[in-house]
Amino acid sequence: LLLHSYIKQYLFRPATVLAALVVGAICMILVERRRRKPTCVSLDELTPSLALGIGCFQCLALWPGFSRSAATIMGGMLLGARRALAAEYSFIAAVPIMMAATGYDLLKNFSLFTAADVPFFAVGMIGAFVSALLAVKAFVALVGKMTLVPFAVYRLALAPFVYYFMVR
């Protein structure tokens, strides 16, 4: 909230998004190469200090293009969480952030809505909830079985297209 206008003005540019794609990919590869035995393997073992540390890494997502979930997963792994746990926690940590961001946008634009919009919001929320639940379960299972390197490769492969079509 404090940095909203600064971020919109200076970071929502194609060049900064491109840089975030590349930096995020390099960070993923470096985190994966740093093989350490996890000290926290389940949500029950997650301490408040570890949750706070992971939340601090999540702040990297203020940089558009960095990826909130990747920042959270990498932070969790660096702080000792098992990759699948970090991925699961990434989605748990997203809920209050997305609710706050959505609530903030709704309040800002409340005057634009009518009672006729309520059914559309209800259907949209239910559809989003169900599809998000399925996507999260699939993603956590996938990340538990493989590294972040394929996601890094995808980001690096996407970077030239972003450069060619948006930055150049």
pLDDT, one tens digit per residue, over 12-66 is 889 999 999 999 999 999 999 997 899 999 999 999 999 999 999 999 988 999 9
| Domain ranges across the chain | 4-167
pLDDT, one tens digit per residue, over 113-144 is 898 988 998 899 899 889 988 988 898 888 88
User: Rg for the chain (alpha carbons), in Å?
Assistant: 18
Check whether 105 has a pLDDT greater than 80.
yes
* pLDDT attached to residue 108: 86
Among candidate residues 26, 12, 51, the one with its CA nearest the CA of residue 159: 26
* pLDDT attached to residue 132: 86
